[in-house]
Chain A
Amino acid sequence: MSESTANHTFAFYLGCIAPNRYPGCESAAIKTCKKLGIDLVPLKGASCCPAPGAFGSIDLNVWYAMAARNLVLAEQMKMDIALLCNGCYKSIWEVNHKLKHNKDLRDGVNEVLKEVDMEYKGTCNVYHIAELMYNEKFVGVSKIKDSVVTPMTGARIAVHYGCHLTKPHKDRDFEKTVMLDTEHPVWMEELVAALGATPVEYRNKMQCCGAGGGVRGYDIVHSLDITNEKLINIKEVQADALTDICPFCQLQFDRGQIEIKEKFGVEYNLPVLHFCELLGLAQGMSPQDLGLDLHGISCEPFLQKVL
């Protein structure tokens, strides 16, 4: 089944943080996917997803309508959406799911979309790139293993799943995805192991990064406090780097370390890489290609260890 070399093509939804703060995530996603038989075509004209915490907690209808507009763009391209951010996943996957299953909501949203000559039909599916990577139907662990040219032997890597991909459990359609578990998943560890690295378990792995749900915007100190606790737990197991699958989590861990240093006076210097960036390194791409030099925390010590 996994032998199929058939190319998959997806409309690539960028979100906001990846292109603006971590362009490496964007380029890494496109380049690594290409090597794994997945074409990511830009979803032209896309807007903000919109951010689930910020918009969702103020006006759900705006959230539905804006996400639906992004979905319609993909429907017009006759493609499924792939994205690389958990927040985008929450907005676009969840709105798609709700609209598919709730006629009244769909009618309401379509009334709004009519003003811009659009109609949501419910013909496209939404995937997170990490999900595509793990799912044998698209890529699968063994194919990733085969694509590795620079194995990361000896590197100890902690995994951060982020919240919105698998939570809330009852709103996710787990039967149809490969992400079977919300509370103690291990599939990302499998992906990390496929790169030759050693995934390390740490305390309270499933804790929030501290950024999401508007916490970062509302109370930065509280938000960093959560991040700090996670960083303590990750340092405790002597991880060389932290990998995530969400640019917002990445921002919180990466730039957040600088803020923590300023506010709390603690220094961690823990390199933080999106899984696509990590995969790019393993596939032999240069750190510059992957924009790693644009990170707030230097990836140098980690690069020296693995390259």
Chain B
Amino acid sequence: MMVEKKKATTKKTEAKKQETKKVAPVKQEVKKQAPAPAAKAVAAPGTTTTQKARIGVFICHCGTNIAGSMDIPEVQEYAKTIPNVAYVDNYKYMCSMPGQTVISKAVQEHKLTGVVVAACTPRLHEPTFRNATKDAGLNPFRFEMANIRDQNSWVHMHDHVGSTEKAKDAIRIAVAKAALLQDLFPKSVPVEKTAMVVGAGIGGMQAALDLAGAGIKTYLIESAPSIGGRMSQLDKTFPTLDCSQCILTPKMVDVGRSANIELMTYCEVDNVEGYIGNFDVTIRKKARGVLTPKEAEAKGIVGGGCNGCGDCDAVCPVIKPNVFEVGMKPRKAIYINHPQVVPLIYTIDFTSCVKCGLCVTACGPEKRAIDLESKDELIKVKVGTAILATGYDIFPIEKKEEWGYKRYENVITSLEFERLICASGPTGGHLIRPSDGETPKRVAFVLCAGSRDNTGVGKPYCSRFCCMYSLKHAHQITEKIPGCIPYIFYMDIRSFGKAYEEFYYRIQDEGAKFIRGRVANILEDPKTKNLHVYADDTLLDRPVDMEVDIVVLAAAIQPTADTERTRRLFGVSCTGDGWLQEAHPKLNPCGTTTAGVFLAGVCQGPKDIPDTVASAEGAASAASIPIHMGEVELEPYFATCIEEKCAGCGMCVNLCPYSALSLVEKDGRTVMQVTEAKCKGCGTCGGFCPGGAIWMNHFATPQIVAQIDAFLLGGEQ
């Protein structure tokens, strides 16, 4: 809403490509009224500067990261010969405080107009060196980086001559651009004081609770009809053996009650527009067929709406497999997942509902909660920051054909085991053999089932919590079924967390048998439906053929099916295996390269519950910072129109992927106008414009041409 008020001065471009933690001067624009064309902001292009450029080149050793692979003195001598270079220096760690001081002192002493640092990558240290440039009294956008580490010394580690030459090229190119750089002024935009969390598993719930606790209104979006996610399907948690539901339910209730959380279940993110501080998110409220008391009241049905009585469930004639129980229990077309659901509102599965109307009658004329004609609705909300907590799915382990999941009845997954051992599960907590309902006496656990798998069928990564939950499963069967022996086939037991190793010893003492070896294949005895587990015992160096009653596959995990779509909406990248990409694996694990979008929990990579909760709290803290600051700075990398050159042809308007351009009448002429806030600085229009009338700030045509010339001409002008 603040955005509306200050539209003219505050709608600025979004800085998708770069980190946002810039500390640049906040220059207040003088103009206050009317959506002004952006062209005003730049000096007339082409006449960049009358003052002769004096560029300083600073070469970083990065310890031996760079200096170990190239001849720094030679590069330094060469840099002195590049046109416009007024000063060259080198230092062991340019990013250190003394290194930065070298830069600012040189700028002042040698009256430099621009700074080139040849070091690592802008992703890492552009903000550092922009600050140093600014401290020296220059505009921070007078800084240019030459990447001679990540794209040079690291890749050509053993080619000293080659990497020295390549460093010379990179520096010459950077100097060419630096000589033409202009002063730019980032502008601040106000941040909407609301946040969004996508996914209401334990990670999303914790993030929402933290944000809400910090006084921030938070939309919590969940595609399932109720919250709790995977954790609500688990029986007990390791290593403490608390009941999962018991520790989860209070959190679910808190979420349901929090005044600052707007819980939107059975909803999906449909579209995202805007940028940090001002995301316009469209949410698809899927047709649920059942009104909440609030919705009923809004429709004038006072005292109506679903109260969770279950009368509809009792009369519904349609029977489907219950997805929450991994298909091991039936449910009706109108259903709740389990007795403790939050919110306690039934949902109609319209793909199986036959619209017989029995539920409508059963619900009765007072509540009138059921609407068989309900349709999807689109709801628009505005948020300042967003957290993705989209969680995980189980890898379809039937793809590992050698273990026979879905071919042999008594081969189950760990998630099925959780439901079977859980008191509220389909068997009331009795572990049984699916083939005959008998209690098993010998249970084999196959660890790394599809994880740490380099065959190309499974996943190469470690799923991180399977060792621990399998130990917990072993404990549960020795506890519940006297005389039952768990056989754990493992590669390594990764019991890395607090009190995990102690738990491992405890399970050993309780009588679980550990066999170090990957299971080669499993065969079923067709008569008894017992299973033969074949493996190589690598400690005893002998093959194993073990007959067991049931096999539990600790299947790998993978991102949820919807993760890909959601991440694209928010402009978040992912790694090769589909997990969402953090801004930095060590130092910014919750942030993403899209400003204002953060990651919580397993969507970023496999995590157990404690790690998920910690990550969620980190994401909530990070997402609350811009909101508490009230405003954020945006990179000034937007397109501008040089009106004298613009012919008003409008071809750029159609090309723009972000609908940031439009044609306006000005002084009797038609010219293009940029809405800076929408422009992402992609350069599509600038590259295309037949009249050269579009100026891309910081990536202007003359700057890019100078870089290409510097490379191709090898320094000759």
- CB under 8 Å from chain B, chain A span 199-227: 203-204, 206
Q: For B400, what are the chain A residues with a Cβ–Cβ distance below 8 Å?
A: 183
Q: Which of B407, B455, B521, B526 contacts A170 (CB 8 A)?
A: B455
Contact-residue bracket for chain A = 10 to 19
**Does B159 lie at the interface of the complex (its beta carbon under 8 Å from any beta carbon of A)?**
no
Contact B401 A183 (CB under 8 A): yes
With contacts A203-B523, A204-B523 taken as known, whether A170 is within 8 angstroms of B402 at the C-beta atoms is no
B449 to chain A, nearest CB (A): 13
- CB under 8 Å from chain A, chain B span 103-145: none
**Does A255 lie at the interface of the complex (its beta carbon under 8 Å from any beta carbon of B)?**
no
With contacts A203-B523, A204-B523 taken as known, whether A181 is within 8 angstroms of B454 at the C-beta atoms is no
Contact A184 B455 (CB under 8 A): no
Contact B401 A170 (CB under 8 A): no
**Does A137 lie at the interface of the complex (its beta carbon under 8 Å from any beta carbon of B)?**
no
Residue of A nearest to B457 (CB): A169
Contact A169 B455 (CB under 8 A): yes
> What 0/1 pattern do residues 162 to 184 of A give for CB contact below 8 A with B?
00000011100010000001111
Q: For A174, what are the chain B residues with a Cβ–Cβ distance below 8 Å?
A: 456
Residue of B nearest to A207 (CB): B521
Q: For A204, what are the chain B residues with a Cβ–Cβ distance below 8 Å?
A: 521, 523
Give CA–CA (A168, B454) in the complex, Å: 11
> What 0/1 pattern do residues 628 to 661 of B give for CB contact below 8 A with A?
0000000000000000000000000000000000
Q: For A183, what are the chain B residues with a Cβ–Cβ distance below 8 Å?
A: 400-402, 521
Give CA–CA (A113, B591) in the complex, Å: 56
Residue of B nearest to A205 (CB): B523
Q: Majority SS of interface residues in chain B?
A: loop
Q: For A203, what are the chain B residues with a Cβ–Cβ distance below 8 Å?
A: 523, 526
> What 0/1 pattern do residues 383 to 407 of B give for CB contact below 8 A with A?
0000000000000000011101001
Contact B455 A206 (CB under 8 A): no
With contacts A170-B456, A183-B400, A183-B401 taken as known, whether A206 is within 8 angstroms of B523 at the C-beta atoms is no
Q: For B407, what are the chain A residues with a Cβ–Cβ distance below 8 Å?
A: 184
Residue of B nearest to A202 (CB): B526
Residue of B nearest to A181 (CB): B401
Contact-residue bracket for chain B = 10 to 19
> What 0/1 pattern do residues 520 to 545 of B give for CB contact below 8 A with A?
01010010000000000000000000
Give CA–CA (A46, B471) in the complex, Å: 57
Give CA–CA (A182, B455) in the complex, Å: 10
A171 to chain B, nearest CB (A): 10
Q: For A182, what are the chain B residues with a Cβ–Cβ distance below 8 Å?
A: 401, 455, 457
A269 to chain B, nearest CB (A): 24
Contact B401 A184 (CB under 8 A): yes
Give CA–CA (A170, B458) in the complex, Å: 11
Contact A184 B457 (CB under 8 A): no
Residue of B nearest to A237 (CB): B526
Q: For B401, what are the chain A residues with a Cβ–Cβ distance below 8 Å?
A: 181-184
Most chain B CB within a 10 A radius of its CB, from A170, A181, A184, A204:
A184
Contact A184 B523 (CB under 8 A): no
A21 to chain B, nearest CB (A): 30
B542 to chain A, nearest CB (A): 14
Give CA–CA (A170, B456) in the complex, Å: 6
Give CA–CA (A183, B526) in the complex, Å: 19
- CB under 8 Å from chain A, chain B span 457-494: 457
Give CA–CA (A181, B526) in the complex, Å: 23
- CB under 8 Å from chain A, chain B span 484-526: 521, 523, 526
> What 0/1 pattern do residues 401 to 415 of B give for CB contact below 8 A with A?
110100100000000
A197 to chain B, nearest CB (A): 22
Residue of B nearest to A233 (CB): B523
Give CA–CA (A233, B454) in the complex, Å: 31
A49 to chain B, nearest CB (A): 25
Q: Which of B402, B454, B456, B526 contacts A184 (CB 8 A)?
A: B402
Residue of B nearest to A185 (CB): B401
A47 to chain B, nearest CB (A): 32
Q: For A168, what are the chain B residues with a Cβ–Cβ distance below 8 Å?
A: 455
> What 0/1 pattern do residues 313 to 346 of B give for CB contact below 8 A with A?
0000000000000000000000000000000000
Q: Which of B456, B457, B521, B526 contacts A206 (CB 8 A)?
A: B521
Contact A170 B523 (CB under 8 A): no
A229 to chain B, nearest CB (A): 11
- CB under 8 Å from chain B, chain A span 143-172: 168-170
B411 to chain A, nearest CB (A): 13
Give CA–CA (A181, B455) in the complex, Å: 11
Q: For B456, what are the chain A residues with a Cβ–Cβ distance below 8 Å?
A: 169-170, 174
Give CA–CA (A268, B561) in the complex, Å: 51
Q: For B523, what are the chain A residues with a Cβ–Cβ distance below 8 Å?
A: 203-204
B256 to chain A, nearest CB (A): 46
B399 to chain A, nearest CB (A): 9
Give CA–CA (A134, B454) in the complex, Å: 27
Give CA–CA (A183, B401) in the complex, Å: 5
Give CA–CA (A209, B440) in the complex, Å: 34
> What 0/1 pattern do residues 185 to 206 of A give for CB contact below 8 A with B?
0000000000000000001101
Q: For B526, what are the chain A residues with a Cβ–Cβ distance below 8 Å?
A: 203
Give CA–CA (A43, B523) in the complex, Å: 42
Give CA–CA (A182, B454) in the complex, Å: 14
Q: For B402, what are the chain A residues with a Cβ–Cβ distance below 8 Å?
A: 183-184, 206
Give CA–CA (A206, B521) in the complex, Å: 10
Give CA–CA (A170, B523) in the complex, Å: 23
Residue of B nearest to A169 (CB): B455
Q: For A170, what are the chain B residues with a Cβ–Cβ distance below 8 Å?
A: 454-456
Q: For A181, what are the chain B residues with a Cβ–Cβ distance below 8 Å?
A: 401
Q: For B454, what are the chain A residues with a Cβ–Cβ distance below 8 Å?
A: 170
Q: For B521, what are the chain A residues with a Cβ–Cβ distance below 8 Å?
A: 183, 204, 206
A158 to chain B, nearest CB (A): 15
Give CA–CA (A184, B457) in the complex, Å: 13
Give CA–CA (A51, B523) in the complex, Å: 31
Most chain A CB within a 10 A radius of its CB, from B400, B454, B456:
B456
Residue of A nearest to B454 (CB): A170
Give CA–CA (A184, B404) in the complex, Å: 9
Residue of B nearest to A174 (CB): B456
Give CA–CA (A99, B454) in the complex, Å: 22
Q: For B457, what are the chain A residues with a Cβ–Cβ distance below 8 Å?
A: 169, 182
B406 to chain A, nearest CB (A): 11
Q: For A206, what are the chain B residues with a Cβ–Cβ distance below 8 Å?
A: 402, 521
B546 to chain A, nearest CB (A): 15
Give CA–CA (A203, B534) in the complex, Å: 13
Give CA–CA (A204, B526) in the complex, Å: 12
Interface residues of A (CB under 8 A from B): 168-170, 174, 181-184, 203-204, 206
Selected A-B contacts with CB under 8 Å, 20 pairs? A169-B455, A169-B456, A169-B457, A170-B455, A170-B456, A174-B456, A181-B401, A182-B401, A182-B455, A182-B457, A183-B401, A183-B402, A184-B401, A184-B402, A184-B404, A203-B523, A204-B521, A204-B523, A206-B402, A206-B521
Interface residues of B (CB under 8 A from A): 400-402, 404, 407, 454-457, 521, 523, 526
Q: Which 4 A-B pairs have the closest CB atoms?
A: A184-B401, A183-B401, A183-B402, A169-B455
Known contacts A203-B523, A206-B521; 14 further A-B pairs (Cβ under 8 A): A169-B455, A169-B456, A170-B454, A170-B455, A174-B456, A182-B401, A182-B455, A182-B457, A183-B401, A184-B401, A184-B402, A184-B407, A204-B523, A206-B402
